[in-house]
Structure 1
Amino acid sequence: MSVSVNSRRTRLRSALAVVLTVLVLLPAAGLFLRVLQENSKQRDNVQKEQDGVEYLTALSPLVSALAESQAAALQGVPSEPASVTAAVARVQGVDERFGDELGTRARWADLKTKISKLPTITGAANKVFTAHVEVADLTIEIFDAVRENSTLNRDPDSDIWFLQEVVAEQMPVAVTAVSRLSDLANMVAASSGATKANLKTQFGYQSLRVSETVGELTDSLQEAVDETNSDTLSGNLVSNLDSFRRGIEAANRGANLGGADPNVSTLVTAQSTLQTALAALSGVILKEISGLLDDRSGTLTYKQIEAFVLFGVAIVLIALATVWTRSRARQAQSGATDQPGEGSRDVSVQASSGGNAPGNSPFGGGPYDSAPGYGEVPNYGGGRERSGALR
């Protein structure tokens, strides 16, 4: 009876061990999956931002190339500059890879068509200038689309957020405004009357736009330096930012706001200095953003591996605990089975063969343990039998 009870207890322990294992393993698996999904989502976001940085790297030289094309066209050069051809080819390459993901395919196709038509636009300077302004504005719109669709403008790190604002918003506007400032100065000098007054109004607007954009750009770079964990950002920005500031100071002197006509030669020199400084600054900023994103990607990869390792260790420990519990249960069951007669009584009765036969005596069974019969006189051996007279 006892063996059956112990067996049921052993099976109950085994069942409880399985249930506890499941209760521990399911929450652990659920937590692991949630961590893995969040990690995968963050890795996808980082990859999208890296794609955006690569697109911006190809797009940035196009702004300066279009400024060069605008100046050449206003001077009567009809052919497309080589810098524009090279920049368009680079952007075309990245758009073929990331255009669908970043939502730039249709915008770029339209912009590319308009760029190809620029050499065919001839006539009055105002007509040529307006055509180039339209193309430049469309280019800035692509910058906005890339930074938004790549989620760079929603990056959680302050340094990356300020850097992307500089390179994808403020710098294209600054380069475009400075190039227009220089070209408008030439147009003001060559015009007269109402046309000249209108051009001077446009010139003043672009000059103010340059000042505002440069102020925002400088503040954003300072914020990025203050917030960054990069050891190279501050040092890499110093020399290029100094050159950029010198170009801005020269542009302000050449603008000659409130005075007579702007100083064309000073503005042309300032434009060249600014374009060179902004191109170098753009390269530094994009490289820093890429490095920061690479560091984040490496951290996420490490966390993913760590999650797999911890989950694997948890499974191994749970499996070992289950095996140990079942082994202990089997040992308990085996011990219960090997105990004979537990909970029962073993009673055996030997049958008597009768009389006083030796070996069958209830007094011990030996030949010397037999009791004498009723009325018998035991014979102790060696003595003679008494006579009746003596009895």
Structure 2
Amino acid sequence: MNSRRTRLRSALAVVLTVLVLLPAAGLFLRVLQENSKQRDTVQLEQDGVEYLTALGPLITALAESQSSALQGVAAEPASVTAAVARVQSVDDRVGDQLGTRTRWTDLKDKISKLPKATGGEEKVFTAHVEAADLTLELFEAVRANSALKRDPDADISLLQDVVAEQAPTAVTAVSRMSDLANRAAGARRALRPALTVQFGYQAQKANEIVSELTDTLQEAVDDTKSNTLSGNLVSNLDSFRRGIEAANRGANLGGAPDVSTLVTAQSTLQTALSALSGVILKEIAALLDDRSDSLTYRRIEAFALFGVAIALIVVATLWTRGRARDARTGSTEQSGESGRDVSVQVSGPAGGNGPGSPYNGSPYGSVPNYGEAPNYGGGRERSGALR
């Protein structure tokens, strides 16, 4: 009966262990999968930041190339060659993950053909506009495919808007403003109205995008978790604004553009963009590093908690088995003691002189041993006559 009860307890212990272990393992795997998914997303965003870091110098180099080409310089500027090499290096490493390989190949081919563009200012200008537009599309593809555009944190989402869309668009617009003003100044009277319209469109676009950029940065500063973003942005944003203000003065909307002022503003703006983009990208990288560290800590924490759960289950199992073993041992000892008591009670009557024997306590009641003659004469032997 006790053995059956012990086996039942052991079976129940095994069942309870399984019922506790399976949900714990399922919860651990779910947490681990979600953690791994978030870590992969962070790594993809970090790849996007690396790609955007290489694209920033390319957009300013193309603006320089456009201006020099319109001035009759056919050779590719050194800044373009260096920027293309940097983007190619990054695309070789992370292009497959970001889905940029085809776009970059087409853009690189378009850039390589810029020095060969002929047919007058219009065709040269159009070729550079197409290359710049493809570059802006590559910016958009990187921030979309790297998940930066969908980042859950407001500060990262806002900062990537600035560095991947608004700032490159603003610099491109100012570059076109400057070159269109220069072309209009030397163009025939019949071509000036069309060039002036294009110039006005680019000037309006630059002002609108810079206003959006300023508002976006202010919102990012208000929502950020970084302690350094506000201080790092102030000086660089001021330089960027001064470049835009100089471009507006040179544009002189409603009057004749000041080409020299626009050229100076373009150079100032490109320098300011490089500094501003560098600060923003470093801030994004730091925020992503903090998130990656947090996810790593959570991963270690999940493993530790699961290990503790397993250890507790093992201890509980061993304790239950120990109790069951002790119960079986106690049952066996009780059975042995019961058997010894029965044997003592049986051996008493069989001996004849035990405590319950009727012969006990009487000299006449002793039972002679087998083969021994009883001595009735007080110890004297019988006489020979009697024998």
TM-score, normalised via structure 2 length: 0.90
Deviation at 1:126, TM superposition (A): 1.2
1:186 aligned to which of 162, 182, 186: 182
Q: Report the counterpart of residue 282 of structure 2 in structure 1.
A: 287
* 352 and 314 in structure 1: CA distance in 2 versus 1, 3 angstrom threshold: closer
Report the 3-state secondary structure (helix = DSSP H, G, I; strand = E; otherwise coil) of the residue aligned with 2:349: coil
Q: Does 1:6 align with 2:2?
A: yes
Kindly provide the amino acid, as one letter, of the partner of residue 165 in structure 1. D
TM-score, normalised via structure 1 length: 0.89
How far apart in 1 are the matches of 2:134 and 2:29? 43
How far apart in 2 are the matches of 1:101 and 1:224? 28
Kindly provide the amino acid, as one letter, of the partner of residue 166 in structure 2. Q
Deviation at 1:193, TM superposition (A): 2.6
Kindly provide the amino acid, as one letter, of the partner of residue 94 in structure 1. V
Deviation at 1:99, TM superposition (A): 1.2
Q: Report the counterpart of residue 110 of structure 2 in structure 1.
A: 114
Cα deviation per residue 1:70-99 (whole Å; 9 max; x = unaligned)? 000000001000000000000011111111
Deviation at 1:361, TM superposition (A): 8.6
Kindly provide the amino acid, as one letter, of the partner of residue 217 in structure 1. L
Deviation at 1:272, TM superposition (A): 1.0
Q: Report the counterpart of residue 319 of structure 1 in structure 2.
A: 314
Q: 8 Å contact 1:140–1:169 — kept in the other structure?
A: yes
Q: 8 Å contact 1:182–1:268 — kept in the other structure?
A: yes
Alignment of 1:1-391 (within 5 A): 5-259=1-255, 261-340=256-335, 346=342, 348=346, 350=349, 363=358, 365-367=360-362
Kindly provide the amino acid, as one letter, of the partner of residue 96 in structure 1. D
Deviation at 1:343, TM superposition (A): 11
* 177 and 359 in structure 1: CA distance in 2 versus 1, 3 angstrom threshold: closer
Q: 8 Å contact 2:349–2:356 — kept in the other structure?
A: no
Deviation at 1:194, TM superposition (A): 3.0
Q: Can you give the 5+ residue segments of structure 1 that lack an aligned partner in the other structure?
A: 371-391
Deviation at 1:368, TM superposition (A): 5.7
Q: 8 Å contact 1:363–1:369 — kept in the other structure?
A: no
Where in structure 1 do 4 or more consecutive aligned residues deviate above 6 Å? 358-361
* 84 and 368 in structure 1: CA distance in 2 versus 1, 3 angstrom threshold: same
Q: 8 Å contact 1:175–1:278 — kept in the other structure?
A: yes
Residue identity over aligned pairs, in percent, reads 72
Deviation at 1:360, TM superposition (A): 9.8
Kindly provide the amino acid, as one letter, of the partner of residue 141 in structure 1. E
Kindly provide the amino acid, as one letter, of the partner of residue 284 in structure 1. V
* 351 and 121 in structure 1: CA distance in 2 versus 1, 3 angstrom threshold: closer
Deviation at 1:100, TM superposition (A): 1.3
Cα deviation per residue 1:137-193 (whole Å; 9 max; x = unaligned)? 000000011000000000000000000010001111111101001101101111133
Cα deviation per residue 1:182-222 (whole Å; 9 max; x = unaligned)? 10110111113331000000000000100111011111111
Q: 8 Å contact 2:100–2:141 — kept in the other structure?
A: yes
Q: How large is the Cα RMSD of the aligned pairs?
A: 2.1
Kindly provide the amino acid, as one letter, of the partner of residue 37 in structure 1. Q
Aligned residues: 363
How far apart in 2 are the matches of 1:272 and 1:243? 12
* 338 and 194 in structure 1: CA distance in 2 versus 1, 3 angstrom threshold: same
Q: Report the counterpart of residue 388 of structure 1 in structure 2.
A: none
Report the 3-state secondary structure (helix = DSSP H, G, I; strand = E; otherwise coil) of the residue aligned with 1:230: coil
Deviation at 1:125, TM superposition (A): 1.1
* 212 and 343 in structure 1: CA distance in 2 versus 1, 3 angstrom threshold: farther
* 202 and 335 in structure 1: CA distance in 2 versus 1, 3 angstrom threshold: same
Q: 8 Å contact 1:43–1:300 — kept in the other structure?
A: yes
Report the 3-state secondary structure (helix = DSSP H, G, I; strand = E; otherwise coil) of the residue aligned with 1:350: helix
Deviation at 1:127, TM superposition (A): 1.2
Q: Can you give the 5+ residue segments of structure 2 that lack an aligned partner in the other structure?
A: 366-387
Cα deviation per residue 1:220-254 (whole Å; 9 max; x = unaligned)? 11111111111111111000001111111111111
